[in-house]
């Protein structure tokens, strides 16, 4: 199954690279220098499990590098190349240790969750989804901190899960893939879930990276074809991110498990805070838009 995943990722690289190269050559686009630096920074921390969507969105908004409506597709396409690099490295370094059913099932479930969730974005109130996820992450961080302090038992060194928990993890991966369409990265929820289930936190990385990169590659091909992206920023994020991933991946592999367990808590708390802030701002924007027609009258 590991070989099957590597083959799937190789095909994803081929499709993604051809689509992006053709678009860049046709439009004679060069990467943005600022996006090169941004890609390096966010992809480095993304490889540590902190995630790249939230900081990338914040910087693009702060610097006004991309119109708001183009931020999600630009970000997905630009950060897919580093994500694919992550998955290949983690699969080679750690994938052979992970239970094959859990690894393959979770990756494919994340992919299909992303595909199913795409058309739901226009029908749902994104801020409600973000608020629910923020609360869930905060609860998960609390539970995992209590486990680390010995206040209730939890695993932490397992390379696989019992069959029932494996099925539950695969089902949850589908949900994480679906939520990615709402701007909810799959890294923090996956880290929290697998850690609470007793997995070695390091072995969460190949699982979440493989699913995220497969989903990203499929979405990227569509976004590139539509053309509603900023190619200069996309190229910068992609080219700048790959070398940073190579450095950070080996840090994760050699990081002591005890330290990584506390890093997981920090990551999940950070993601919860970012998601809560996004939900509050999203609700405020919805209220402003709802009130606008009444003011105009």
Please report, for residues 56, 72, 114, 157, 237, the alpha-carbon distance to residue 39 in angstroms, rounded to integers and kept in the order given: 8, 15, 23, 32, 4
| Average pLDDT score over the chain | 83
Percent of the chain with pLDDT over 70: 89
Residues 209 and 186 sit within 8 Å (Cβ to Cβ): no
Please report which confidence band the pLDDT of residue 251 belongs to, taking 50, 70 and 90 as the band edges: confident
User: Hey, what's the torsion of the CAs at 31, 33, 37, 43, to 10 degrees?
Assistant: -10
Tens digits of residue pLDDT in 125-184: 767 877 877 887 787 778 777 767 776 555 568 889 999 999 999 999 999 888 876 767
Name the more confident of 52 and 253. 52
pLDDT reported for residue 177 = 85
Q: What is the pTM assigned to this prediction?
A: 0.76
Tens digits of residue pLDDT in 197-230: 888 888 888 998 898 888 888 778 888 888 889 9
């Amino acid at each position: 199954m590991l070989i099957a995943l590597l083959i799937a990722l190789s095909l994803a690289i081929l499709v993604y690279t051809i689509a992006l190269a053709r678009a860049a050559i046709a439009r004679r686009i060069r990467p943005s220098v600022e996006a090169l630096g941004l890609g390096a920074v966010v992809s480095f921390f993304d490889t540590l499990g902190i995630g790249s969507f939230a900081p990338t969105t914040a910087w693009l908004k702060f610097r006004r590098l991309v119109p708001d409506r183009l931020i999600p597709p630009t970000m997905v396409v630009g950060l897919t190349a580093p994500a694919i690099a992550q998955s290949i490295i983690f699969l080679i370094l750690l994938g052979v240790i992970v239970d094959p059913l859990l690894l393959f099932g979770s990756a494919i479930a994340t992919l299909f969750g992303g595909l199913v969730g795409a058309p739901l974005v226009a029908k749902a109130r994104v801020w409600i989804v973000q608020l629910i996820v923020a609360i869930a992450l905060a609860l998960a961080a609390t539970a995992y901190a209590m486990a680390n302090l010995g206040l209730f038992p939890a695993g932490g060194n397992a390379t696989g899960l019992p069959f029932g928990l494996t099925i539950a993890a695969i089902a949850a991966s589908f949900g994480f893939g679906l939520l990615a369409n709402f701007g909810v990265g799959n890294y923090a929820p996956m880290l929290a879930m697998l850690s609470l289930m007793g997995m070695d936190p390091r072995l969460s990385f190949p699982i979440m990276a493989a699913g995220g990169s497969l989903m990203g590659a499929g979405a990227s091909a569509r976004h590139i074809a539509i053309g509603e992206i900023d190619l200069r920023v996309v190229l910068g994020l992609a080219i700048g991110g790959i070398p940073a991933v190579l450095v950070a991946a080996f840090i994760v592999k050699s990081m002591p498990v005890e330290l990584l367990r506390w890093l997981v808590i920090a990551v999940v708390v950070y993601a919860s805070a970012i998601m809560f802030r996004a939900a509050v701002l999203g609700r405020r924007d919805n209220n402003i838009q709802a009130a606008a027609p009444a003011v105009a009258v």
